[in-house]
Amino acid sequence: SRRQRQMCIRDRDSAIVIKSKYQGNKKLAWLQFYQQSIKCQRPKNINMFAFCSEDKIQQRDAFEQQYTQ
pLDDT, tens only, 20-66? 889 999 999 999 999 999 999 999 999 999 999 999 999 999 999 99
Instruction: Please tell me the predicted confidence (pLDDT) of residue 19.
Output: 75
Q: Which of 27, 24, 30, 29 is nearest to 60 (CA)?
A: 30
Question: Would the pLDDT of 3 be above 60?
Answer: no
pLDDT value at residue 58? 97
Nearest Cα residue to 32 out of 6, 66, 9: 66
Is the model's pLDDT at 5 over the cut of 60? Answer: no
